[in-house]
């Protein structure tokens, strides 16, 4: 009886902790979204940190105020290698920047779905969608651990500095695997650590919302993806500066199945000169005080 009670208490404590993390993260990003809706700059990264440079330079680049709603820690689109007609899912779509850039790449025959748990972020994303005239993008309210997306329905999944915010990353990866089509691929930019973080940091919900406490050890991150069923799991960028305890990594993987539609070079390493991000310096990221701090 005592052992059973202890197990129940432990489970309750874990559930409470996960709830506290989710609530604080939602509150943090809701505040940022409300600032953006009020016309205040909310990005922690510059334009060339959050979308590929060549995309910024094209004639139909997005408005600056939309770019400035980015809360990412890199450029997952750089490694997604999107193709015309594909269906893409963005885990934690925020203000929608990555979705809008992806929509241009998959074209009118393609489709982009953004999922976010924060109503204020969804309001901001829909406002931005109207501003840029994105007709092949939709935003859905939901948790990454319980995606409002059908089984085997998307070709590509991207995520930009969001998985680290989830308390139950195993559930996030299981859900991503579920909704991805056989042979589909994942391209993630996220914060990871070199060594386990001290418990005093991991226990701080404030640091969790700041993209620090939830950062897994890089090898543990990859292992969780493999456990969920992904193959070809590979870190293709990040961590070149070995003095950084927490850094932004780019990770690719795929679901077993027909690989005939995989783009050439989908798992190529990113040259070090192009692999940086505004959040590579963890100390600077904390000082910036928005997505990474």
How confident is the model at residue 124, as a pLDDT? 92
3-state secondary structure of 182: strand
| C-beta separation of 189 from 75 below 8 A | yes
The SS3 assignment for 160 reads strand
For residue 30, count CB atoms less than 10 angstroms from its CB and return exposed for 0-12, middle for 13-18, buried for 19 or more.
Answer: middle
Q: In tens digits, what is the pLDDT along the chain, a chain of 293 residues?
A: 333 333 333 333 334 467 766 766 666 665 665 666 566 655 444 444 444 445 434 434 666 666 665 656 778 998 999 999 999 999 999 899 899 999 999 999 999 999 999 899 899 999 999 999 999 999 999 999 999 999 999 999 999 989 988 889 999 999 999 999 999 999 999 999 999 887 767 666 555 555 677 889 999 999 999 999 999 999 999 998 888 888 999 999 999 999 999 999 999 998 755 444 444 433 333 323 334 43
Cα separation values, 63 from 33, 147, 163, Å: 17, 29, 27
* Pairing assessment for the beta strands 246-254 and 180-193 based on DSSP bridges: antiparallel
For residue 42 the two structure tokens come to 């909310």
pLDDT at position 68, please?
Answer: 62
Q: What are phi and psi of 207, to 5 degrees?
A: -70, -30
**Rounded alpha-carbon distances, angstroms, from residue 272 to 41, 78, 81, 238:** 29, 13, 18, 8
Strand pairing category for 216-217 and 231-237: unpaired
For residue 208, the model assigns a pLDDT of: 58
2-288 falls under which CATH superfamily? Vaccinia Virus protein VP39 (3.40.50.150)
Q: Give the DSSP per-residue string, 165-234.
A: G-S-HHHHHHHHHHHEEEEEEEEEEEEEESSPPPHHHHT-HHHHHTTSTTPEEHHHHHHHHHHHT-EEEE
CA neighbor of 237 nearest in space, from 98, 110, 78: 78
Beta pairing class for 154-160 and 246-254: unpaired
Give me the residue label for tokens 């309001």: 123
CB 121 within 8 A of CB 158: no
* Domain boundaries along the sequence of the chain: 2-288
CA distance 69 to 163: 19
Structure tokens that stand for 282 in this block: 């963890």
**Predicted structure pTM score:** 0.80
Contact 114/99 with Cβ under 8 angstroms? yes
Angle between helices 2-37 and 119-132 (to 10 degrees): 40
């Amino acid at each position: 009886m005592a052992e059973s009670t202890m197990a129940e208490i432990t489970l309750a404590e874990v559930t409470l902790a996960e709830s506290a993390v989710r609530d604080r993260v939602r509150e943090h990003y809701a505040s940022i979204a409300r600032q953006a809706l009020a016309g205040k700059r909310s990005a922690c990264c510059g334009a060339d940190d959050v979308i590929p440079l060549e995309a910024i330079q094209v004639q139909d680049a997005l408005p600056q105020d939309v770019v400035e709603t980015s809360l990412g820690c890199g450029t997952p689109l750089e490694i997604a290698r999107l193709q015309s007609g594909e269906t893409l899912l963005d885990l934690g779509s925020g203000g929608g920047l990555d979705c809008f850039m992806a929509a241009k790449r998959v074209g009118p025959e393609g489709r982009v779905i953004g999922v976010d748990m924060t109503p204020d972020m969804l309001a901001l994303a829909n406002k931005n969608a109207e501003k840029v005239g994105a007709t092949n993008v939709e935003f859905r309210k939901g948790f990454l651990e319980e995606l409002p997306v059908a089984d085997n329905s998307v070709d590509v999944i991207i995520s930009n500095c969001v998985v680290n915010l989830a308390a139950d990353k195993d559930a996030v990866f299981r859900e991503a695997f579920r909704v991805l089509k056989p042979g589909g691929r994942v391209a993630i930019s996220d914060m990871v650590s070199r060594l386990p973080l001290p418990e005093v940091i991991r226990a701080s919900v404030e640091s969790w919302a700041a993209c620090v406490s939830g950062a897994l050890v890089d090898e543990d991150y990859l292992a969780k993806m493999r456990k969920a069923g992904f193959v070809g799991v590979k870190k293709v960028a990040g961590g070149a500066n070995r003095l950084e305890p927490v850094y932004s990594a780019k990770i690719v993987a795929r679901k077993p199945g027909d690989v005939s539609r995989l783009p050439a070079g989908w798992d190529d390493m990113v040259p070090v000169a192009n692999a940086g991000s505004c959040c590579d310096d963890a100390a600077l990221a904390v000082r910036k005080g928005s997505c990474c701090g």
